[in-house]
Structure 1
Amino acid sequence: MSTQSEQVLEDNLVKQLQALGYTYVALPDEAALLANLKTQLEAHNRVTLTAPEFGRVLNHLHKGGVFDRAKTLRDKLQLTKDNGESIYLEFIQQEHWCQNRFQVTQQVRQEGAYKNRYDVTLLVNGLPLVQIELKRRGLELKEAFNQINRYQRHSFGASFGLFQYVQVFVISNGVNTKYYANNRHQTFKQTFYWADKANKLITQLEAFSQAFLEPCHLAKMLTKYIVLSETHKVLMVLRPYQFYAAEAIIERVRTSDKSGYIWHATGSGKTLTSFKASQLLVALPKVHKVVFVVDRKDLDFQTTKEFNSFSAGSVDGTDNTKALVQQLADDGTKLIVTTIQKLNTAISQLRYLPRLEKLQTERVVFIFDECHRSQFGDTHRRIKAFFGAAQLFGFTGTPIFADNAVRNELGKRTTRELFDECLHKYLITDAIKDENVLRFSVEYIGRYREKEGSHTAIDIEVEDIDTKELLEAPQRLEKITDYIIDNHARKTHGRELTALFCVSSVDTLIRYYELFRQRKAEGRHQLKIATIFSYTDNEADKGANGLLPDFDDDDLALPIAAEPGPALAYTAHSHTREKLDAFIQDYNTQYNTKYSTKDSQSFYNYYNDLSKRVKNREVDILLVVNMFLTGFDSKPLNTLYVDKNLKHHGLIQAFSRTNRLYTEQKSQGNIVCFRNLKQATDDAIALFSNKDARDIILMEPYEDYVEKFNAAVAELLKVAPTVASVDALPSEDEELAFVKAFRELMRLKNVLTSFADFSFDQLDMSAQGFEDYKSKYLDLYDKVKNSTPKEKESILEDVDFELELIHRDEINVAYILKLLAKLNGATAAEQQQQKQAILDILTGEATLRSKRELIQKFINENLPHIDDAEDVPATFEAFWAQEQQKALDAISNEEKLDPLKLQALLGTYLFTERKPLIDEVINMVEEKPKFLQRRPVYERVVNKVIGFVDTFINGMGA
C-alpha cells in the first residue's frame, strides 16, 4: 500500500474544514487575498469601503512586525470615510468570538526573496490567522516546522505582509499534529499536541481538526488564550492543560462561590496559566479584584516580573504593606501581586482595617502560587475569615496529602481541605509523555567502606553508621568536592549548562564553599561558584529558614568513602552572616558588583542579580540550603548535586529545577545524590503520580542506553557500511537516511556522556569511528548550508542537523595552537600522529571547519620553518592577519565594494551582532544594482560577511 500523498492529505483536510463550517475560497495570490479581505471586512462590519478607504485600512494594517500586528488585530481602527464620517472598523470580535467569518483556502502563492506556496490557510474576517503546513505520512514533523521557518525568512513579510498576521501555526504529517504560536524564537520543543481534558493526546490530523480547528474553539483560542508578551515582544499560546485549568477556574467563579485547586506538574508553566486565568477573571463583571499571592519576597519579584512581561504594567508590585493596602482600597487596581506575609499583616493590624472594610463583602478572587508551601498556617484561616465573599484558588505541582502533611498548630491539613476539590490535574507523568519537561537521570555516588586490617575493606550497612559524624567528616566533604570538580564538565556538556548544589545546613554549605575556593586557589578548577543562604541573628536557631521542612535529618545517607585528610579552615564560632558577606565579596570581585547583607534591600538586590546570572549561565554551580529549590526556573540548569535528605514534595520540587526544556544538548535532568535517596525518590514518585510511574519519570540505566546506541550503530551501518561509502550515497534520499541515522547516534551519545561510567570501550563504534562519521555528517550539512536556494528545495533543506550536539566552545584555534607547539621536538612518527589528530579535530568540530583549509596551509607551509615552539603563536598571528586581509580584499573585489565602507560594516556587525540592512549593503556597492538585483546582491554579500566572521573571528579563543 502506497503512502498517502501530501496532496491527498491536504484535500481531505479542506473537505473536513468545510464540513466544520469554514467557507472555501480560492485565493491563488496576494491580489485575490486583498480583494477577499475587503469583502470580508465589509461584511463583518456591515459597511462598504471605497478603494481609497480600503487603501487607508491597508496602510494601517501594514505596520510593524508580528507582535505589533497581533495588537493591531485586537484593536479597532477609527476610519474617516471619504464623506467625512468617522467609523470604527473591527478586525476580530473578541467578546462573542463565534461571531466572526471563517474561511479556508489552499496553495496561496507568495513571492518574497523566493517564491513559496502555502498548504492550507484559515482566514478570520479575511485575515490569514492560522497557517497549516503538511508533510506526507512517514516524514518527520520537524521538517514542516523548519519549512515554516524558511517561509518566515523568505516570503511571509513580502508586499503587504498579511501572513505576518498569522497567530498560530499547525504542522502535521497526518499521524502527528502539533500547534504553536507565531514566534520565531521558538524551537521545535515549543510545539504542542492538543489533548482532551483528561490529558489524552489528540495527534491524528482529523481528530485534531475536529477538536481544535472547529471555528468557535479556534476563535476562542485566538481571542482569549494567546498571550502577547510585552517584555520579549512575542506571542505565546496556551497548551491544552493550561487552557482547561483556566477554563475550570473561570467557570467556577462564574457559576458558584466555591474554591478549588489546580494540580499541574512543576515546570509546566503555572505562571502563564495563572496570568491568563487572572486576566480573564478581571474581565468578569462580578469580580472586584484578583490577588495573586506568593510566599516569599524573591518569588514576589519573580512572579511580578513574569506577569508584567506578559502585559506591561498589568501588575503593580508592592514594596511594603502600606502600598498593598493602597492597592486593595483602590477600585482602579484590579490585579495585585503580593506576598502571603504582607497580606497577613494588612488584615491583622488595626490601623489598616478601616480602609479595607468594604472588601469584606466584595468578590475578591485569590490565586495562590505554590500553595503547598504558603497555605498551611493560621494565615489561611485569617484570610477566609476577613474576606467573606472571597474565592480561593491554589496552584501546585506537589499537593499536600495525608502522607506528606506536616503537623502545625492547626493539625495536619491537606490541600483538599483548604481549597476544596481539584479542578484539573496534569501530573509529571503527563508532562514527560507530552515532552513538556524532561526525565531525570538519578545517580547515587559513594559507598562507605570500613578498613579491616591493613588491606581488606568490607561494605557496611548505612544503618550501622553514626551518620551525623560521618556526613560532616571533612574527608567526606573533600571527596565530594573533588568528585564534582572532576565530573562537572561531563554533566553539563563542557559547562554549556549549569548546576545547583543543595546541602543540609548553612554550616556544611560554608565548608563546601571554602573547599571550592581552596581548590580554585590551588589551580584545580576554574568553575564559577556562588552561594546564597538565609542567616539569623539568633545563631542557635539554625533551622529558622522560613520554609516548611522538606526533609528529616534521620533519613538514611549514602556517604562518600572518608579517608584521613587535613581539617577545613572553618571557624565554628564565626557568625554565618559574616561568612555570607565574605562570599558575596567574592561575587562582587568576580562580577564587579557591590552587594552585601548590610540591609534587606541590598540582600534582595543580590538575590535578583544572582538569579539573573544563573539563568544567563554566568554561574557554574550555585550552592544552597533551601533557597532556589522551589519556584526558580532556569532553562540552562540541568544538574542538581544533592548532599541533603529530601522527601515527598521537597524532593520533587528540588529535582524539578533541572528538567525544563532547553536545547537538544539538554536531554535530561541530572540528579547526583551523595545520600541514599532511592527509597525517598520512589516514594515521592508514587505519591505524586502513581506507583508505576517510576519508569516514565526516571531515565533508564546506563546499560540500556549502551544497548540503544549499539542498535543505532547497526542501523547506521545498513545505510553506510563504511565512512567512505557516505560519499557514494546515490541520492538525497539515502543522504537523508544517513543524516537521520547518525543524528540518532549523536542524541544517544549525548545522553551516555553524562553518566560517570561512560566509555567507548562498551560501544560498537570506536571514538575514532564516531569522529570519522561525524565529519561526513558535517560535510552534508555544509553542502546544504552553502547551496544556492532554488525553486525546488532540497529535501535536506528542512532537516534539523542539531549541530549543538557537536559544538564545543573549548575546542578553538587557541587550543589548536597549543597542539601545534607540541610538534616541535617530537619524533617524526609522533609528529605525524599529532598532525592527524589536529586534522581530525578540524574536520569534526563545527566551529573549526571553516578554518580547516587555512590551518592546514599553515601546518604545511609555515610550521616546518619554526624552530622554537614559543614562536608558533606569533607566527600564526602574522599568517592569520595576512590571510584575513586577502579574504577581505577578495570580497571587496568580487562584489565591487568600497573597502572602507566594508571595514566599517564589519565593525558594526561585530559590535551589534545584527545582520546588516539591505540599504547598508547596497550603499557599499560602487556600481549600484538594478532594483530587481538588489536582493540577490544583498544576500550574497551578507553571506560572505558572515562567512568571513565565522572563519577569521569566531572560535579563535584567547
Structure 2
Amino acid sequence: MSIQSEAALEAGLIATLQQMDYEYVQIAEEDNLQANFKRQLEIHNRKRLAEHGRTEFTDEEFDKILIYLEGGTRFEKAKKLRDLYPLDTADGKRIWVEFLNRQQWCQNEFQVSNQITVEGRKKCRYDVTILINGLPLVQIELKRRGVELRVAYDQIQRYHKTSYHGLFDYIQLFVISNGVNTRYFANNPNGGYKFTFNWTDAANVPFNELDKFAAAFLEKCTLGKIIGKYIVLHEGDKCLMVLRPYQFYAVEKILDKVKNSNDNGYIWHTTGAGKTLTSFKAAQLVSELDDVDKVMFVVDRHDLDTQTQSEYEAFEPGAVDGTDNTDELVKRLHSNSKIIITTIQKLNAAVSKTWYSNKIEAIRHSRIVMIFDECHRSHFGESHKRIMKFFDNAQVFGFTGTPIFTENAINGHTTKEIFGNCLHQYLIKDAIADENVLGFLVEYYHGSEEVEKGNANRMEEIAKFILNNFNKSTFDGEFDALFAVQSVPMLIRYYKIFKSLKPKIRIGAVFTYAANSSQDDEQTGMNTGQYVSESTGEADELQAIMDDYNEMFGTAFTTENFRAYYDDINLRMKKKRADLKPLDLCLVVGMFLTGF
C-alpha cells in the first residue's frame, strides 16, 4: 500500500482550493510577495481609489503602507489588520486603506500559494499559504500520512524563531495536517499544542481528513468570517485566541435567532468548555447589530458578576460596563453602554421597586437581548417572571452545563419551558473526546444506607478519611481540593472537626448568603465589602475561621471586608501567584463550584 507523499498532499490541497474559487499565485520570495500584496490591496480598495480618480497606489504611498505595517508586535499587527490606515497622498488628500473587510467577510480577495521561500536566520520554504487581500493570513504545514501532527506543530514553532517576520507576522491562523488528521490554531507562539483544535460540523462531528476540513473550514466565506469575527485579541495576555467550533456554532445560532426571529433559546455546553469566551463573543456580535439597543449579561451571584466583568475586560477593555448596585444599573440602562453585566438580583430590584422601575419605564419596550449565565439556577422563580414581564420586548438566551429536563424538573419547570429550545449542545463526552476538558477520576465509597448524616462520629470519620487520603488524591499536593458541604451549620461543624485533628495541610472555609441576598442587599451591593448574613452567630463563626486564616497566611481579614477575603482564597486556590502560599483544602457552601 502506497503512502501519499507530502508533495501529493500539497498538490491535492491546492487543487481543492482552486475548485473553491481561490486564485493560485506563484510567489517565489518576499519581493514577489510584496508586489502581489500591492496589486491585491489596490483591487480590494478599488472603490476608495476610484473616489480619487485612481486605480493604483504610487510607489511612495505603498512604501508608507509597508512602513506602517512593519512596526509593532505581532499582537499590535493583528490590530492593524483590523483597522483602517489613513494614507496621506502627495496632493494633500487622504485615502482610508482597508486591509480586511470584517463586516462583509466574503468580500475579500482570496489567493493560495505554495513553497514561498523566506530568508531569516535560516532559509525556509512554507508549504501552503493562504493570502487574503495579499497578506499571508493562514499558513498550512503538511506532513505525509503516518507522521505525527506534533511534528508539523513543532516545525511552525521553529519558524517562529528563525524566519517569520515582515508580512508573515500577519498570520492569524495555522493549519497542520497529515492528510488523515487536521487541526487549526491561532498565531500564539506561547499557546502550546493543547490549543490546537479539530474543526467539526454543528453536531460536533470532526472533519479530520484534510479534504473535508478544507471544504468546511477553508471555504472562503467561512474562513473570512472566522478571521474577521471569531478571533479574539486578548488584551490581558496580548495574544490571539480563536474560538473552537462548538463556540462558533453557538454564537452563530444566537445571532441567527436575534436577526431573524424573536425566539429565545439556550446553549448546553459542558462545564469547563469556555463559556465565558463564548458568551463574550455572542454579546459583542449581538451588540453590533443595528436594531439591538442593549445586551445584558446576567449572572446569579455577585462573585460571578465581578469575575465575568474582569474576564470580559481582559478580552477587550472598555467593551462592557459592570454595575456595583441597582442605582448603577439604572444609570447604565440609560447610558450609551451597549453591553452591561449585572446580577439577576439587581435586575429584579430595578423592575420590582417603583422608585427604580419608574426611572427605566422609557426603555422597557426597547430591543434588549439578555444572555443568562448558568440558566438553570435562578430562573424558575418570581424574579425571572418579573424581569420578563417588565422588559416585554426582550429576547433571552441562557447558557448551562446542566439543563433541567422533565425528569429532574424544579417545581415542574424545565429549562426549555423557561428559555425555549436548545440551540446548540456540546456535552461532557464531546469535551473529553476532544481533550478540551480533563477526564474524571471518580471514586465511590459505599457505606450503610441507614446513616445519620449529622452524626458527630460519622463526620469525624469522614474528616479523618479525607486527611489520610489527601496526598494520594491530590498527587502529593500538586492540586488543591474543595469540600462541598450542604449547609453553613454543617460546614462550621466540619471545620471544627478538621481543626481538632491538627492537620498538616492548610485548611480554610468560606460561606456567604450573598448568593441568596435580598433586593435591599443588592441595592447597596457587595462591593462595599459588607458580609451578608442572617445570623450573628454564623458571622461570628466566620470571623473565627478568618482569624485562623489570618494566622496561617499573615493576613488581616474581617467580615467587614469579606470581598477581599474571598478574592484572596480565590488566588490561593488557583495558585496564580507564586508569592502566595496555596490553600490546600477549602470547605464551601454553594461557592467556587462552577466557573471560578
**TM-score between the two structures when normalised by the length of structure 2:** 0.91
- Find the aligned partners of 2:144 and 2:428 in 1 and give their Cα distance: 32
1:372 aligns with 2:380: no
Counterpart in the other structure of 2:30:
30
- Count of residues in Structure 1 that have an aligned counterpart in Structure 2: 567
- Find the aligned partners of 1:482 and 1:495 in 2 and give their Cα distance: 12
- Find the aligned partners of 1:39 and 1:258 in 2 and give their Cα distance: 46
The answer to whether the Cα contact below 8 Å between 1:105 and 1:122 also exists between their aligned partners in 2 is: yes
Q: Which amino acid aligns with 2:546?
A: I
The answer to whether the Cα contact below 8 Å between 1:170 and 1:178 also exists between their aligned partners in 2 is: yes
Deviations 1:415-444 (A, max 9, x none): 111111111111111212222112211112
Counterpart in the other structure of 1:853:
none
- Find the aligned partners of 2:163 and 2:495 in 1 and give their Cα distance: 54
- 1:249-648 correspondence runs (5 A): 249-330=254-335, 332-407=336-411, 412-445=412-445, 462-463=448-449, 465-468=450-453, 470=455, 473=458, 475-484=460-469, 487-488=470-471, 490-520=472-502, 525=504, 527-534=505-512, 575-598=537-560, 602-616=561-575, 618-632=582-596
Deviations 1:799-824 (A, max 9, x none): xxxxxxxxxxxxxxxxxxxxxxxxxx
* Offset at residue 321 of structure 1 (A): 0.5
- Find the aligned partners of 1:56 and 1:102 in 2 and give their Cα distance: 24
**Cα separation, partners in 2 of 1:147 and 1:491, compared to 1, 3 Å:** farther
Deviations 1:316-354 (A, max 9, x none): 111110000001112x11100000000000111111223
- Find the aligned partners of 1:175 and 1:36 in 2 and give their Cα distance: 33
Counterpart in the other structure of 1:455:
none
1:84 aligns with 2:84: no
**Cα separation, partners in 2 of 1:575 and 1:193, compared to 1, 3 Å:** same
Q: Pick from 74, 83, 96 the counterpart of residue 66 of structure 1.
A: 74
**TM-score between the two structures when normalised by the length of structure 1:** 0.57
**Cα separation, partners in 2 of 1:263 and 1:475, compared to 1, 3 Å:** closer
* Offset at residue 241 of structure 1 (A): 1.1
Secondary structure, aligned partner of 1:338: strand
Counterpart in the other structure of 1:153:
161
Secondary structure, aligned partner of 2:443: strand
* Offset at residue 390 of structure 1 (A): 0.7
Deviations 1:508-566 (A, max 9, x none): 4334434544555xxx62x3323211269xxxxxxx9679xxxxxxxxxxxxxxxxxxx
Secondary structure, aligned partner of 1:79: strand
Deviations 1:260-296 (A, max 9, x none): 1111111111111111111111111110100000000
The answer to whether the Cα contact below 8 Å between 1:102 and 1:125 also exists between their aligned partners in 2 is: yes
- Find the aligned partners of 2:142 and 2:573 in 1 and give their Cα distance: 39
The answer to whether the Cα contact below 8 Å between 1:400 and 1:415 also exists between their aligned partners in 2 is: yes
Secondary structure, aligned partner of 2:557: coil
Q: Which amino acid aligns with 1:468?
A: K
In structure 2, the gaps of 5 or more residues are 50-55, 519-534, 577-581
Q: Which amino acid aligns with 1:144?
A: A
- Find the aligned partners of 1:99 and 1:478 in 2 and give their Cα distance: 64
The answer to whether the Cα contact below 8 Å between 1:481 and 1:512 also exists between their aligned partners in 2 is: no
- Find the aligned partners of 1:164 and 1:619 in 2 and give their Cα distance: 42
The answer to whether the Cα contact below 8 Å between 1:74 and 1:91 also exists between their aligned partners in 2 is: yes
- Find the aligned partners of 1:479 and 1:616 in 2 and give their Cα distance: 25
- Find the aligned partners of 1:579 and 1:12 in 2 and give their Cα distance: 70
* Offset at residue 591 of structure 1 (A): 3.7
Q: Pick from 91, 113, 117 the counterpart of residue 125 of structure 2.
A: 117
**Could you say which structure has the greater relative contact order, defined with CA pairs below 8 angstroms and 6 or more residues apart?**
2
- Find the aligned partners of 1:373 and 1:590 in 2 and give their Cα distance: 35
- Find the aligned partners of 1:34 and 1:535 in 2 and give their Cα distance: 62
Counterpart in the other structure of 2:189:
184
**Cα separation, partners in 2 of 1:574 and 1:285, compared to 1, 3 Å:** closer
Counterpart in the other structure of 1:104:
112
Deviations 1:224-260 (A, max 9, x none): 1111111111111111111111111111111111111
Deviations 1:624-652 (A, max 9, x none): 122111232xxxxxxxxxxxxxxxxxxxx
The answer to whether the Cα contact below 8 Å between 2:463 and 2:498 also exists between their aligned partners in 1 is: no
Q: Which amino acid aligns with 2:199?
A: W
- Find the aligned partners of 1:597 and 1:323 in 2 and give their Cα distance: 24
* Offset at residue 66 of structure 1 (A): 1.9
In structure 1, the gaps of 5 or more residues are 449-461, 537-543, 548-572, 633-958
- 1:707-856 correspondence runs (5 A): none
- Find the aligned partners of 1:328 and 1:469 in 2 and give their Cα distance: 47
Secondary structure, aligned partner of 1:443: coil
Q: Which amino acid aligns with 1:611?
A: N
- Find the aligned partners of 1:388 and 1:365 in 2 and give their Cα distance: 11
**Cα separation, partners in 2 of 1:241 and 1:293, compared to 1, 3 Å:** same
- Find the aligned partners of 1:516 and 1:148 in 2 and give their Cα distance: 51
The answer to whether the Cα contact below 8 Å between 1:292 and 1:338 also exists between their aligned partners in 2 is: yes
Q: More deviation in 578-587 or 308-317?
A: 578-587
The answer to whether the Cα contact below 8 Å between 2:234 and 2:240 also exists between their aligned partners in 1 is: yes
In percent, how many aligned pairs have the same letter? 51
Deviations 1:52-83 (A, max 9, x none): 21111111101222211111000000011122
- Find the aligned partners of 1:70 and 1:285 in 2 and give their Cα distance: 26
- Find the aligned partners of 1:613 and 1:165 in 2 and give their Cα distance: 38
The answer to whether the Cα contact below 8 Å between 1:170 and 1:180 also exists between their aligned partners in 2 is: yes
Q: More deviation in 189-198 or 362-371?
A: 189-198
The answer to whether the Cα contact below 8 Å between 2:322 and 2:341 also exists between their aligned partners in 1 is: yes
- Find the aligned partners of 1:224 and 1:414 in 2 and give their Cα distance: 33
Larger Rg: 1
Secondary structure, aligned partner of 2:96: strand
The answer to whether the Cα contact below 8 Å between 1:344 and 1:383 also exists between their aligned partners in 2 is: yes
Deviations 1:844-896 (A, max 9, x none): xxxxxxxxxxxxxxxxxxxxxxxxxxxxxxxxxxxxxxxxxxxxxxxxxxxxx
The answer to whether the Cα contact below 8 Å between 2:376 and 2:415 also exists between their aligned partners in 1 is: yes
- 1:862-881 correspondence runs (5 A): none
- Find the aligned partners of 1:574 and 1:425 in 2 and give their Cα distance: 44
- Find the aligned partners of 1:630 and 1:146 in 2 and give their Cα distance: 35
Counterpart in the other structure of 1:554:
none
Counterpart in the other structure of 1:452:
none
* Offset at residue 11 of structure 1 (A): 1.2
* Offset at residue 6 of structure 1 (A): 1.1
Deviations 1:173-213 (A, max 9, x none): 11010111111221211111111111111110000000000
- 1:894-933 correspondence runs (5 A): none
- Find the aligned partners of 1:535 and 1:76 in 2 and give their Cα distance: 50
